[in-house]
Amino acid sequence: MTHALVVGGTGMLRPVSLYLAAKYNKVSVVAMSDRLDSLVSESDKINPIRVDYCNTAVLDSALQAATNEFGRFDIAVIWVHLKKAPEAPYVIAKYVSGRYIHLLPSWTADPAKENQKLQKERHKRFEEIKNLNYQEIILGWQGSRWLHNDEISAGTIYAIEHPKQKQVIGTVEPWSAKPL
């Protein structure tokens, strides 16, 4: 059985959840939103995991249950607010045997030295996890505005189909041109 995971898959990544449901036997979707019910009604391949990823103990338990039932995740697409739940991405990674596609906010591309240090630490921690193919997608902007949800989903699906270790949806340069 093939098993995918989408964290944050009911909002901007909803089309990604449905895209993966067309390709995998089961897609576990972590979300707190009421939109999780409507996503489940669109595909019988969606396994809803209604937890707050900020509570890493509960998240860990829920992912363990999902992998016990459907197997480890062959691919994971992760959108986690890093400032709210900095350890959640690593808890999730324990259950992935394959591609781990980590969507990151534009501030992670800020050339400030503090962000460069955080990037190195993040990469080092992910490199230590066996059987993990880490890929990051930085969400930038388009012209003078932030990306729309459909642009983020389309860019994420493109990244799934055309894997690279690092990709940017939109642009993050020059940093001084980012929207306010």
Other CB atoms within a 10 A radius of the CB of residue 66 amount to: 22
E strand segments, the chain: 3-7, 26-30, 46-49, 73-79, 96-104, 132-139, 141-142, 145-146, 166-169
H or E element that contains 152: helix 149-161
pLDDT digits 0-9 by tens, 49-58: 999 999 999 9
Which two structure tokens, joined as six digits, stand for 177? 């041109």
Quote the CA–CA distance of 142 and 139 in Å, as a whole number.
10
Which two structure tokens, joined as six digits, stand for 43? 């595909």
From 121, 71, 124, select the one nearest 95 (Cα to Cα): 71
pLDDT tens digits in sequence order for the chain, 180 residues long: 899 999 999 999 999 999 999 999 999 999 988 899 999 999 999 999 999 999 999 999 999 999 999 999 999 999 999 889 999 999 999 999 999 999 999 988 888 777 788 888 888 999 998 889 999 999 999 999 999 999 999 999 999 999 999 999 999 999 999 998
What's the pLDDT at 118? 82
From 129, 152, 121, select the one nearest 139 (Cα to Cα): 152
Quote the CA–CA distance of 108 and 96 in Å, as a whole number.
23
Tell which CATH classification among 3.40.50.720, 2.160.10.10, 1.20.1090.10, 3.90.740.10 matches the domain 3-177.
3.40.50.720
Other CB atoms within a 10 A radius of the CB of residue 85 amount to: 17
Quote the CA–CA distance of 4 and 12 in Å, as a whole number.
17
Residue with tokens 């503090």: 114
Cis amide bond preceding 174, omega within 30: yes
What's the pLDDT at 180? 85
Which two structure tokens, joined as six digits, stand for 68? 């016990």
* pTM (two decimals): 0.94
